[in-house]
Amino acid sequence: MAKAKRIFSLLLRLLALGATLSAAIVMVTSHEKAKFFAVSFEAKYSNTPAFKYFVIANVIGGVYSFLVLFLPPKSMLWRLVVALDVIFTMLLTSSISAALAIAYVGKKGNSQAGWLPICGQVPKYCNHVSVALAVGFIGVVIYMLLLLYSIHTALNPLLV
């Protein structure tokens, strides 16, 4: 029973690691150049601080998952893992939320502020970023499942 729990937990952490790292990698490789009335227009993820925060948060989440993968099962550090899980889930939630807010402005624009949508000029970049955000969202969901599961195993609160 304990072995099955450990294997399930390891599997979840591997999935979380994969999701967060691939979200970061897909976002970093999004890049498109477009010509717009003889003005060269380059769209990169580093133009927007929200996307930079998204990449950094996902890299940190991925590194954390990678480190927890190597934690021995009977160590005292599992309670710390529960606390750190809460913190990193919160970090990932905030990063996906911020990136989605800015991506929404990029896609639909904001007529009251006079901001035009840029997805019309760089559609490939837009699709690339959408894929990165979708994978990041999956990573957030997996992190939430991991959090609930680590509370269940480390604290076993539902008694008898």
Partner 1 sequence: MAPEVGEKPEVGSNKVPVKDTKGWAIRLLPLLRLLAFFATVSAMIVMALNKQTKTLVVATIGSTPVKATLTARFQHTPAFVFFVVANGMASLHNLLMLMLEFTGHKFDFKGVRFLMMAILDMMTVGVVSGGASAALFMGELARNGNSHARWNKICDKFDTFCEHGNGALIASFLALLLLTIITTISIIKLQNLHYSINHSVLP
Find out whether 101 and 56 touch, Cβ atoms under 8 Å: no
Segment contacting partner 1 by CB under 8 A, of 18-26, 41-49, 63-71, 131-139: 41-49
| Euclidean distance between CA atoms 106 and 93, whole angstroms | 20
**Nearest Cα residue to 93 out of 61, 63, 126:** 61
Determine if 20 is a binding residue for partner 1 (CB under 8 A).
Answer: no
Determine if 34 is a binding residue for partner 1 (CB under 8 A).
Answer: no
Segment contacting partner 1 by CB under 8 A, of 1-9, 24-32, 67-75, 152-160: 152-160
Options 1, 4, 74, 156; binder of partner 1; rule CB under 8 A: 156
Determine if 69 is a binding residue for partner 1 (CB under 8 A).
Answer: no
The CA-CA-CA angle for residues 96, 100, 106, to 5°, reads 150
Determine if 82 is a binding residue for partner 1 (CB under 8 A).
Answer: yes
Collapsed DSSP state (helix, strand, coil) of residue 133: helix
